[in-house]
């Protein structure tokens, strides 16, 4: 759907902002050539019957001024933008500042991982599991869900997402949450990401409990499949560079889901997989992506 791909490799989707929204009848060719010649990172996308020009946020005002002066482009004009601004990539500190909720969830997961010794410290883990439990010899006794909620322990509906069993489990989930969480936070804001994270955790935990009964389960995987479904469907309905996932990512995660459902992953030594949590997260994520994408497209059409 892109009408211009030049310099796009230098464009950081997390810091890109739309600077122009123009009818499809407007010829942006000359101005795009001007940006290409001056090596300004940019993308042109088509959204709701408009063409949208995206550039790094640090030079957005300068590009707007440039278009006002030279909408058709000017081969003799030099750009009055600091040379390093277009190619400067945000550092870790800047990315964390732009994605506070993403960073906060990952930090909480790291802290919980350290306190619970990645699932080895059952006494500490018992405060965050879906159901309270007691170890009785070789058995674990769980408190019924109704009694748990009646005692006011509502936090347990979402806190299992912070529990991880092993460093690989934490590292893989953390990496994907950083990738998907930042995209949603950049596109829809921190509050929406927090709400979606809690919703996906709630839905995936309930799905796993309903399907598998009382048990010890945890991890961000259910949330990740929710974020994936959200970005996937949202992008289909209201295309946006922030949600444009590499083609292989969606295929890989869906194939992994099928392999987990088949039991093959558990057979080769990865342990028990909370498949119901994955499916539940993906389903509710597709639903929120549908609602959010339709709302975004409607808002763009009205504007």
CB neighbours of residue 29 within 10 Å: 13
Angle between helices 167-188 and 190-212 (to 10 degrees): 140
- Across the strands, what pairs with 43? 54
The active-site residue out of 42, 164, 169, 278 is: 278
221 is catalytic: yes
Q: Tell the burial category of 297 from Cβ atoms under 10 Å away from its Cβ (0-12, 13-18, 19+).
A: middle
Q: Tell the burial category of 55 from Cβ atoms under 10 Å away from its Cβ (0-12, 13-18, 19+).
A: buried
How far apart CA 217 and CA 80 sit, in angstroms, is: 56
214 DSSP assignment: S
Contacts of 185 (CB under 8 A, 6+ apart): 98, 99, 100, 101, 102, 192, 193
98 is catalytic: no
Nearest of 112, 130, 285 to residue 199 by alpha carbon:
285
Q: Which run of H or E residues covers position 135?
A: strand 133-136
For residues 252 and 243, the answer to whether their CB atoms sit within 8 Å is: no
How far apart CA 226 and CA 194 sit, in angstroms, is: 13
How far apart CA 260 and CA 252 sit, in angstroms, is: 12
The active-site residue out of 109, 221, 238, 296 is: 221
> What are the catalytic residues?
221, 278
């Amino acid at each position: 759907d892109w009408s211009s791909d030049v310099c796009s490799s230098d464009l950081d989707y997390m810091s890109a902002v739309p600077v122009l929204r123009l009818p499809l009848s407007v010829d942006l060719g000359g101005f795009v050539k001007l940006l290409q010649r001056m090596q300004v990172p940019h993308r042109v996308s088509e959204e709701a019957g408009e063409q949208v020009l995206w550039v790094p946020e640090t030079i957005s005002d300068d590009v707007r001024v440039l278009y006002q002066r030279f909408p058709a482009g000017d081969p003799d004009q030099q750009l009055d933008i600091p040379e390093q601004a277009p190619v400067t990539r945000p550092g870790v500190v800047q990315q964390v500042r732009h994605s506070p909720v993403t960073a906060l969830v990952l930090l909480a997961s790291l802290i919980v991982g350290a306190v619970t010794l990645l699932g080895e410290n059952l006494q500490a883990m018992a405060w965050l599991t879906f159901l309270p439990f007691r170890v009785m010899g070789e058995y674990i006794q769980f408190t019924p869900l109704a009694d748990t909620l009646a005692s006011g322990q509502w936090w347990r509906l979402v806190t299992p997402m912070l529990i991880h069993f092993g460093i690989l489990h934490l590292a893989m989930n953390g990496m994907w949450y950083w990738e998907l969480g930042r995209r949603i936070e950049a596109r829809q804001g921190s509050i929406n990401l927090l709400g979606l994270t809690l919703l996906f955790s709630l839905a995936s935990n309930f799905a796993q409990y309903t399907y598998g009964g009382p048990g010890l389960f945890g991890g961000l995987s259910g949330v990740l499949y929710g974020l994936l479904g959200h970005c996937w469907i949202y992008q289909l309905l209201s295309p946006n560079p922030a949600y444009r996932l590499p083609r292989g990512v969606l295929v890989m995660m869906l194939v992994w889901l099928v392999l987990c459902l088949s039991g093959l992953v558990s057979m080769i030594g990865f342990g028990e997989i909370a498949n119901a949590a994955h499916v539940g997260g993906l389903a509710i994520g597709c639903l929120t992506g549908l609602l959010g994408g339709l709302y975004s497209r409607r808002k763009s059409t009205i504007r």
